[in-house]
Amino acid sequence: MIDPRDELIAAASYFYSQRWMVGTAGNLSARLPDGSFWITASGKSKGQLSWDDFVQIYPDGKLESANTDLKPSAETAIHQLIYRLFPKSQACYHVHSIEANLVSNFVTNEVVLLPPLEMLKGLGVWEENPICEMPIFRNHLEVSRIADDIQARFELNPPKIPALLIRNHGVTVWANSLEMARNYIELVEYIFCYMVNTRRIGI
């Protein structure tokens, strides 16, 4: 089996270059056949990751890392939940962009309506003039509370697209492959950029 950490490192480096993972912000994970997953360690620059900057999380919550000083990302609880709610998912990516945070404040309710762009097809929305909403969740200092909110809402109302926003925090996507997760991040960030620019110029 090919170790997914190389692809996670490449994705993190690219997102860092786009200023979507500045400093130590954001987290990426990839699921393994045994149900465990690699996730970026807390406090590591996403532009300079190595294999030793990941923690392996098992379904029972046990963790392993090459460095005993490493701690898993603060958002690990959200990744665990996504893999549980969407069993076919093989990757979960979370980035922090300016546009995502701006869009998260365009509305005060729990969803934001996305423009009916062609890009939505890349997220699995194959409809003419689609009405597509992205769920928004309140940011909490304790990430477990965010995970609880996601679980409560998604168990009753699964999202139309594999993405969610945390207000003033960032966007999270999940996908059936690492390549697809990277594409999803690019697509949603394009849509966010479009939304910010249309508001700026008054369209």
| Torsion (CA) 140, 40, 42, 154 in degrees, nearest 10 | 10
Phi and psi angles of residue 105, each rounded to the nearest 5 degrees, phi first: -105, 10
Rounded to whole angstroms, the Cα distance separating 198 from 203 reads: 5
End-to-end CA distance of the chain: 49
Residues 117, 197 contacting (CB under 8 angstroms): no
Binding-site residue positions for Zn(2+): 94, 96
Say whether 169 sits in a helix, a strand or coil: coil
Count the helix, strand and coil residues of the chain and give each as a percent rounded to the nearest 5.
Answer: 35, 20, 40
DSSP 3-state of 152? helix
C-beta separation of 125 from 187 below 8 A: no
What single letter denotes the amino acid at residue 31? R
Task: List the binding residues.
Answer: 94, 96
